[in-house]
Amino acid sequence: MLGREVDDARVASLPVMDRYVLAKTAELVRDVTAQMEEFDVPGASESLRSFMDLLTNWYVRTQRDRFWGEDADAFDTLYTVLVTLSRLSAPLLPLVTEEIYRGLTGERSVHLTDYPVERAAWADDSLGAVMDRVREVVSAAHALRKARQIRVRQPLMALEVAVADPEALRPYVSLIASELNVKMVVLVTEEAFTRANPVERRLTVNARAAGPRIGKDVQAAIRGSKTGDWTESASGEVVSGGIALVEGEYELATVIGGEGDDAPAASVLAGGGFVLLHTDITPELEAEGFARDLIRSIQDERKHAGLNVSDRIDLAVTVPAERVAAVEAHRELIAREVLAVSVAVTEGELAVEVRKA
């Protein structure tokens, strides 16, 4: 068995990430049950797909060190979630869930168990909301990295996060920094961010969509959008050049800083607020990035050599002369990450050799 089921009395003492995934599981049970009662099979399927993304690409990935360390709370939480998920999705995935459930529990069949009900002890809307914000920040910053073509293994100096309540995210600063490979996460209020960074709302009129409805007035609306003669009310009504526009006839965008090459790596959070990624790469950061790329190559070589994940190795690396200093500076990091008991470094064309110690 993978673990044992978490009972209600134990939930409050679990680490925060365990309580979060249980809270999202309780939410999933509630949503899928309601969708199935309405025969909304596509909606239930999408809820399950979205949850699986959260489970694998957030919970399991961020807690992998705990699984390597055979942390009982992590294993028991994952076991509980997977058993519940199997029972919940059994009507939609009868064969797959049967295999998973029997493998987890050793019981006869998932189809002979009760359909799950929402467990109140798991519910924690406040924790769920905060962690969802953390995930939103991480996702937005990853998108900025991708847009600037900066690989995740390249460390960066800082990420600035501006939200209405910065203190709510403070307990998760280390998690955010680890997920984004940044040295520092700075939390500020939205007001402080907008004072330090020019933030502008821009309107673009879709002439093709607006033209059939407002006729020649579309030219006045376009002029208004370009000259700043437009307004957006609290209720969301947009008026440009004295012409009221309806949804689909315009696009609103929030622009942070300049444009083109001078634009900062910043974006607007869907839930409100901003993120700004400091993308300047110093020689020290670049050297660490090379070391982390080398670690990835060594890990690949370990797999090709058929080594077990726990096997210790003797490591020999050959790197160009200009990269020797980077490897030496991060020798301990490399050795720790790849379980090397010895590291030999020589100059030459890039090559990696691993041997079981």
Which pLDDT score, from 0 to 100, does residue 69 have?
84
Which pLDDT score, from 0 to 100, does residue 246 have?
92
Which pLDDT score, from 0 to 100, does residue 259 have?
64
Listed by start position, the domains of the chain span: 8-123, 128-196+262-279, 199-256, 284-356
The three state secondary structure string of the chain is CCCCCCCHHHHCCCCHHHHHHHHHHHHHHHHHHHHHHCCCHHHHHHHHHHHHHHHHHHHHHHCHHHHHCCCHHHHHHHHHHHHHHHHHHCCCCHHHHHHHHHHHHCCCCHHHCCCCCCCHHHCCHHHHHHHHHHHHHHHHHHHHHHHCCCCCCCCEEEEEEEECCHHHHHHHHHHHHHHHCEEEEEEEEHHHHHHHCCEEEEEEECHHHHHHHHHHHHHHHHHHHHHCCEEECCCCCEEECCEEECCCCEEEEEEECCCHHHCCEEEECCCCCEEEEECCCCHHHHHHHHHHHHHHHHHHHHHHCCCCCCCCEEEEEEECHHHHHHHHHCHHHHHHHHCEEEEEEEECCCEEEEEEC
Domain 284-356 has CATH 3.30.2320: yes
Which pLDDT score, from 0 to 100, does residue 262 have?
62
Which pLDDT score, from 0 to 100, does residue 197 have?
87
Ranges of residues in the chain whose predicted pLDDT is under 50: 1
Q: pLDDT tens-digit profile of 72-111? A: 999 999 999 999 999 999 999 999 999 999 999 999 999 9
Domain 8-123 has CATH 3.30.2350.10: no
